[in-house]
Amino acid sequence: MSGPKKSSIKVTAPAPVVPHVPTEMLESFKTLDLTPAVARAIEELGYEKPSEIQSAALPILLGDATDFIGLAATGTGKTAAFGIPLLERLNPFEKSVQSIILCPTRELAIQVSGQIDLLGKYQGVKSTAIYGGAPYGDQIAAIRRGAQVVVGTPGRVVDHIDRGTLDLSGVSIVILDEADEMISMGFKDDLEKILGSVAGLDNDSESREELSLGEEAVSTRTSNIWLFSATMSREVRKVTEDYLVNPKKVEINRTEMLPANLEQIYYSTSESNKPEVLCKIMDAADDFYGIIFCQTKALVVDLVGYLMGRGYAVDALHGDMDQKARERTMKAFRDRKVTLLICTDVASRGLDVKDITHVINYSLPRELDSYVHRIGRTARSGKTGYAMSLVTPSHRGLIQRIERATKSTMNEGKIPTRKDVGEKKIAAISKKFEDATTFARATELFTPELKILLAPMSAEEVASRFITMMLPEVFSDKSEREAASPVAGEKGKILLGHTAERAERGYADRHGGARSGYQGRGGSSRGYGGGDRGGYASSGERGGYGERKSYGDRGGDRGGYSSGAERGGFSGERKFAAPTGASVYGDKPKFKADGAAAAPKDKIKRWGAPMTAASPSNAGKTSFKAKGKGTFGAGAAKKSHF
């Protein structure tokens, strides 16, 4: 096995990149001239016929040293497309870092590192993953033990470079995996710093100026960059222009980026009915193991709470989770203890789980790239997958944009009725009933009381009563409309425990407005935040649960649950000076507006400054008064989400 291929590369001014289109698909990995060690590992992994990106990329990357651009969707086999030729170019006897692979997330870094280890197990090449949220010591030790491949997230790689614990001077191949995702996550500066630290890339300004000339020039580059991405955004193109020299390019076009076995369906509904429609879609599916994408973290949290209340095995993935919590969630999801994962685009980046049956866009993203990344998590390895989207009338135009850009068709689906869902559930229960194998033991325990109870009933009546007991929601007397989700609805309906006065609140189609967002006076720009007086506001003047009033940071001007709020309930100085109308969480007494009786004095003293109840005549203006601290109530704090 030879060492890394290093040579001076004769280059001219960067030329337009011409896509390489394979004339024919490779029928087998055996047709490639691979070393026995790599070929054996591929066979053991069960790889047979190369995927399209592998068929196009492998002949190029196994040939002469070159910079490379590979455009293909997530889940199309990119790791093997760069991993196999990478292993063929590394020297297993040189125990130092010879290649750096950059990934957008820790999950993807771990996954890629594991794949490299499997492919290189008989060759003696080792990789290690370095990422944030993990101890530096273990990562430094792995590098010092002689890992030839380092797979890492840009931020942690830069940290190691700054600490002097990662030397990239011997790197011959730099791989950017999911480059568009890394740049969209804000890692562009880190990428540039890392590329500038690879000596073999010859990135000094003098050389770059020389390469920009029209005359032939000789570069001393001894390293190459292989860039893989699902999309070619303007920022990604800028990186290729700045750092890649005469790259060869493979592009799996949009229609090929969406697998033939992927069915795209959209359901037209109002924003207020989305949660109920979501439940019907999941309940009507033959098998559901999926991911639901939401636009905001707050929506993720609330939707998880709602679905848990409906009995679904669900969990969330969002940016505020620490590494251990994230790993626990992902393990539960991979083990199928959780079959439904709700997340934001940012939190899901790099997420790779096998056998996902459904991807649901609770809200359609406005960027095509995000849509492609989302739905690329299903319909893998030749299996059928479903990409479903809940679409309000105002967002129908996004459907047409996606269809035009991807040259594909999204079919409009019929929302399952309660009858459809009921039939599906009854069929499932009937199957379990039929397959039950322990009924003999139950017969032994059959009590005389039960015999007396069932004696006058026919078998049909027993079965009907059993099914009704198991599926009460199917046989409820409520109409379809009355059974709609409590997440958001019409006037007077409960919004996840909060009273709504207008349909625009909460998950309003316009995402906020004059009266939007889980609070009495809504956000001026969007529900869940930013509003002048909105609940969940990021810096709202009178909101609770905001960025500045998040359970006690500093507190909004008049927010609830704030440690320093000027007029908020649960404030540092006025611990229980709840605004009028507040229904306080926990075991605390509930305060009522408009002349409501005061809470017992002994309880008031337990949680804050002594208070006196306002007189009924003043109830519309004040509810309770903290001595020496002013009055609080409807007149002062307007309405509260408590």
pLDDT at 52: 86
Q: Evaluate if residue 630 carries a pLDDT over 70.
A: no
Q: Evaluate if residue 536 carries a pLDDT over 60.
A: no
Mean pLDDT of the residues in the chain: 72
pLDDT at 203: 57
CB atoms within 10 A of CB 380: 21
The stretch 570-579 carries a mean pLDDT of: 34
DSSP state of 416: P
Contact 496, 486 (CB under 8 A): yes
More confident residue, 194 or 323: 194
Task: Give the range with max mean pLDDT: 223-232, 372-381, 485-494.
Answer: 223-232
SS3 labels along 566-617: CCCCCCCCCCCCCCCCCCCCCCCCCCCCCCCCCCCHHHHHHHCCCEEECCHH
pLDDT at 478: 55
DSSP E strands in 112-261: the ranges are 127-130, 149-152, 173-176, 217-219, 224-229, 248-251
Specify the 3-state DSSP secondary structure of 185: coil
Sign of CA dihedral 187, 192, 197, 198: positive
Rounded distance between C-alpha atoms, residue 104 and residue 111, angstroms: 12
At 256, the pLDDT band (50, 70, 90 cuts) reads low
Q: What angle do CA 352, 356, 358 make, to 5 degrees?
A: 125
Q: Among 214-223, 282-291, 338-347, 513-522, where is mean pLDDT lowest?
A: 513-522
Q: Among 157-166, 313-322, 364-373, 611-620, where is mean pLDDT lowest?
A: 611-620
At 210, the pLDDT band (50, 70, 90 cuts) reads low
pLDDT at 345: 82
Beta bridge partners of 149: 99, 127
Q: Evaluate if residue 622 carries a pLDDT over 70.
A: no
pLDDT at 477: 58
Contact 23, 52 (CB under 8 A): no
Closest CA relative to residue 398, chosen from 425, 374, 422, 429: 374
**How far is the CA of 233 from the CAs of 189, 239, 240, 368, in angstroms?**
16, 10, 11, 11
Interstrand relation of 99-102 and 149-152 (parallel, antiparallel or unpaired)? parallel
pLDDT tens, position by position, 98-127: 999 999 988 889 989 999 999 999 999 999
Distance, C-alpha 83 to centroid of its chain = 26
Rounded distance between C-alpha atoms, residue 289 and residue 138, angstroms: 35
Sheet holding 624-626, edge to edge: 611-613, 624-626, 631-632
The stretch 160-167 carries a mean pLDDT of: 97
Contacts with 225 (C-beta within 8 Å, 6 or more apart), sequence order: 67, 68, 173, 174, 175, 176, 195, 201, 243, 244, 247
The torsion angle over the Cα atoms of residues 464, 467, 473 and 478, rounded to 10 degrees, is: 0
Q: Evaluate if residue 282 carries a pLDDT over 60.
A: yes
What tokens were used for 44? 């053991």
Distance, C-alpha 91 to centroid of its chain = 37
- HSE toward the beta carbon, residue 57, CA cutoff 13 A: 29
Interstrand relation of 217-219 and 9-11 (parallel, antiparallel or unpaired)? antiparallel
Contact 84, 179 (CB under 8 A): no
At 244, the pLDDT band (50, 70, 90 cuts) reads very high
The stretch 421-436 carries a mean pLDDT of: 79
Contact 228, 78 (CB under 8 A): yes
pLDDT at 606: 36
Contacts with 562 (C-beta within 8 Å, 6 or more apart), sequence order: 544, 549, 551, 552, 553, 554, 555, 556, 568, 570, 571, 572
Residues in the chain: 642
Q: Evaluate if residue 631 carries a pLDDT over 50.
A: no
Q: Evaluate if residue 3 carries a pLDDT over 50.
A: no
More confident residue, 442 or 298: 298
What tokens were used for 25? 């698909």
Q: Evaluate if residue 538 carries a pLDDT over 50.
A: no
Give the type of residue at 316: A
pLDDT tens, position by position, 356-393: 999 999 998 877 778 888 898 898 877 899 999 999 98
Task: Give the range with max mean pLDDT: 9-18, 155-164, 197-206, 452-461.
Answer: 155-164
What tokens were used for 637? 């704090």
At 341, the pLDDT band (50, 70, 90 cuts) reads very high
Contact 535, 545 (CB under 8 A): yes
Secondary element (H or E) of residue 386: strand 385-391
Rounded distance between C-alpha atoms, residue 68 and residue 588, angstroms: 64
Q: Evaluate if residue 587 carries a pLDDT over 90.
A: no
More confident residue, 499 or 28: 28
At 419, the pLDDT band (50, 70, 90 cuts) reads confident
Task: Give the range with max mean pLDDT: 116-130, 192-206, 437-451, 607-621.
Answer: 116-130
pLDDT at 609: 37
Rounded distance between C-alpha atoms, residue 10 and residue 2, angstroms: 22
Contact 355, 335 (CB under 8 A): no
At 142, the pLDDT band (50, 70, 90 cuts) reads very high
What residue ranges define each of the domains in the chain, with the CATH number in brackets?
9-252 (3.40.50.300), 258-412 (3.40.50.300), 418-470 (no CATH)
pLDDT at 418: 86
Q: Show the DSSP H helices in 171-296 as ranges.
A: 179-184, 188-197, 205-211, 234-243, 254-257, 274-284
Q: Evaluate if residue 66 carries a pLDDT over 90.
A: yes
pLDDT tens, position by position, 189-209: 999 999 999 977 765 545 445
Q: Evaluate if residue 469 carries a pLDDT over 50.
A: yes
Q: Among 209-223, 306-320, 455-469, where is mean pLDDT lowest?
A: 209-223
Rounded distance between C-alpha atoms, residue 295 and residue 552, angstroms: 26
What pTM, to 2 d.p., does this model score?
A: 0.54
Q: Evaluate if residue 463 carries a pLDDT over 90.
A: no
Specify the 3-state DSSP secondary structure of 48: coil
Q: Evaluate if residue 446 carries a pLDDT over 70.
A: no
Task: Give the range with max mean pLDDT: 95-104, 223-232, 318-327, 600-609.
Answer: 95-104
- In the block, tokens 């594909």 appear at 408
Contact 547, 539 (CB under 8 A): yes
Q: Evaluate if residue 580 carries a pLDDT over 50.
A: no
More confident residue, 640 or 371: 371
Task: Give the range with max mean pLDDT: 39-43, 184-188, 325-329, 436-440.
Answer: 39-43
Q: Evaluate if residue 642 carries a pLDDT over 50.
A: no
Closest CA relative to residue 110, chosen from 140, 81, 152, 78: 152
Supply φ then ψ for residue 271, to 5 degrees.
-60, -40
The stretch 615-640 carries a mean pLDDT of: 37
- In the block, tokens 């390469």 appear at 211
Secondary element (H or E) of residue 106: helix 106-119
pLDDT at 233: 86
Rounded distance between C-alpha atoms, residue 458 and residue 463, angstroms: 9
